[in-house]
């Protein structure tokens, strides 16, 4: 739902009765979400034939948040002007009135039921794929293809990829497959909504037809839909060609640095506080089994350094120095949660570094890439 729109009805939530369920819908014409609400009691009246009611979302949400946990009765009648609906909320404490719109004026949502490309994914896996990649999506409107997550799905495995040119994440899993080769780019905002639905879906759907944790992904001409059963998220695909991400993943990084994830993450966060506000660069100096993380902000005459234990196989070299953006490094390490150690596969200080979990999940291959920064020379 857009915060502001030239079409006032888009700032509303569409309420519809379908059998014994209340169906809520919202759209900004790019992304749509539909949610079914069980446990609603309907009373037959003169408005039973109405094709839904569009209720002002912000006022409705603020009112419900301000109310205590008690039953609410909604009713609707004819408004003063044509196309308007008088909406009334009643509780045992008071009555609240607002003006809505006739549901017939609400924009039609995309329908994907007849589209041919359809795959099923576990909701938890989809949520994980989204959460592990979305942080690396670009915010640069000049590169629209990189403002979404790239899905590349085949008969044997599926991949989700995100990059902003400084970081890259590629998650490969053998549990996301399609009989036909599929590739499409989904806007990050749409996937963020789908991820929020997926995170609570297994519990919500458990026990219904025995397939509680499944999401059906339908890919059509220009649109994609994520159907979780009681909730659907639909979005317009990004109609661009995704960059050849495989070309930037080095395959000759033979130097291997193994370090505790939490120890390095905590040190990088603390030392990063003392990095330059312009470059955010921190220096990693590897010497045998010691890794020193340091930063300096010349403008503020401040500096910091910490040391953590590590295991370094430099292929004949025992020392190496490389620089990274502190924010990018901490985000990469944060999104490798659930592992004890991480592995950096390095080459030279001016070439991209690969970051991997020390132990991959079964049936999964997680790879993250981070570009280095040119180090300032300071004493």
Select the more confidently predicted residue: 86 or 40. 86
Q: Which CATH architecture has domain 8-105?
A: Roll (3.10)
**pLDDT (tens digit per residue) in 244-291:** 999 999 988 999 999 999 999 999 999 999 998 888 999 999 998 999
The reported pLDDT for the residue numbered 338 is 86
CATH class of this structure's domain 117-166+173-245 = alpha beta
- pTM of this prediction? 0.86
Distance CA 304, CA 323 (A): 15
Q: Across residues 348-367, what is the average pLDDT?
A: 94
The reported pLDDT for the residue numbered 44 is 62
Q: Across residues 110-117, what is the average pLDDT?
A: 72
The reported pLDDT for the residue numbered 112 is 72
The reported pLDDT for the residue numbered 318 is 84
The reported pLDDT for the residue numbered 54 is 93
The reported pLDDT for the residue numbered 378 is 40
Q: Which of 229, 218, 232, 189 is nearest to 28 (CA)?
A: 189
Task: Locate the DSSP E strands across 195-336.
Answer: 214-219, 223-227, 231-236, 255-260, 281-287, 290-297, 302-313, 319-325
**Confidence class for position 352, pLDDT limits 50, 70, 90:** very high
Tokens of 347: 């080459």
Q: Across residues 70-93, what is the average pLDDT?
A: 87
Q: Which helix (H) or strand (E) element contains residue 23?
A: strand 21-27
Q: Across residues 5-25, what is the average pLDDT?
A: 89
**pLDDT (tens digit per residue) in 296-335:** 988 888 999 999 999 999 888 889 999 999 999 999 999 9
Contacts of 72-81 with CB under 8 Å at 24 or more apart are 74/15, 75/45, 76/47, 76/50, 76/100, 77/47
Instruction: Kindly tell me if the per-residue pLDDT of 72 is higher than 80.
Output: yes
Q: How far is CA 213 from the centre of its chain?
A: 18
The reported pLDDT for the residue numbered 377 is 53
The reported pLDDT for the residue numbered 279 is 87
The reported pLDDT for the residue numbered 45 is 55
Q: Across residues 189-206, what is the average pLDDT?
A: 73
Express as a percent the part of the chain with pLDDT over 70.
93
3-state helix, strand and coil shares in percent for the chain, rounded to the nearest 5? 20, 40, 40
Q: Which CATH architecture has domain 249-370?
A: Roll (3.10)
Q: Please give the mean pLDDT across all residues of the chain.
A: 88
* Domain ranges in the chain with CATH number 3.10.150.10: 8-105, 117-166+173-245, 249-370
The reported pLDDT for the residue numbered 210 is 37
- How many other C-beta atoms are found inside a 10 Å radius of the C-beta of residue 144? 14
Instruction: Kindly tell me if the per-residue pLDDT of 198 is higher than 70.
Output: yes
Q: Across residues 149-174, what is the average pLDDT?
A: 96
């Amino acid at each position: 739902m857009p915060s502001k729109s030239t079409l006032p009805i888009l700032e509303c939530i569409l309420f519809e009765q379908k059998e014994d369920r209340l169906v809520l819908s919202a759209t900004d014409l790019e992304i749509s979400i539909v949610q079914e609400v069980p446990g609603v009691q309907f009373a037959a009246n003169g408005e039973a034939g109405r094709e839904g009611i569009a209720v002002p979302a912000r006022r409705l949400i603020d009112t419900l948040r301000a109310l205590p946990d008690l039953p609410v009765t909604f009713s609707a009648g004819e408004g003063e002007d044509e196309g308007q609906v008088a909406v009334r909320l009643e509780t045992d404490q008071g009555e609240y009135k607002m003006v809505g719109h006739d549901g017939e004026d609400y924009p039609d949502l995309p329908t994907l039921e007849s589209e041919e490309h359809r795959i099923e994914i576990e909701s938890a896996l989809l949520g994980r794929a989204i959460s592990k990649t979305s942080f690396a999506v670009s915010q640069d409107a000049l590169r629209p293809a990189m403002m979404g997550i790239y899905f590349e799905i085949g008969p044997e495995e599926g991949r989700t990829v995100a990059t902003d040119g400084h970081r890259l994440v590629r998650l490969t899993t053998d549990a996301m497959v399609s009989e036909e080769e599929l590739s499409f780019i989904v806007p990050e905002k749409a996937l963020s909504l789908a991820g929020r639905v997926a995170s609570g879906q297994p519990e919500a759907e458990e026990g219904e037809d025995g397939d509680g944790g499944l999401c059906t992904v339908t890919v059509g001409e220009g649109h994609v839909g994520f159907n979780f059963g009681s909730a659907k998220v639909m979005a317009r695909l990004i109609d661009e060609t995704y960059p050849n991400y495989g070309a930037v993943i080095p395959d000759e990084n033979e130097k291997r640095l193994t370090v505790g994830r939490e120890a390095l993450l905590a040190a990088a966060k603390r030392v990063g506080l003392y990095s330059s506000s312009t470059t955010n660069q921190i220096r990693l100096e590897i010497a045998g089994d010691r890794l020193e993380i340091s930063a300096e902000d010349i403008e503020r005459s401040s500096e910091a350094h910490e040391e953590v234990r590590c295991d370094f196989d430099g292929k004949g070299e025992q020392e190496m120095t490389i620089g990274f953006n502190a924010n990018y490094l901490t985000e990469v390490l944060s999104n490798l949660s659930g592992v004890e150690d991480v592995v950096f596969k390095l080459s030279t200080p001016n070439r991209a570094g690969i970051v991997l979990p020390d132990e991959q999940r079964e049936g999964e291959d997680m790879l993250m890439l981070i570009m280095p920064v040119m180090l300032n020379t300071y004493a």
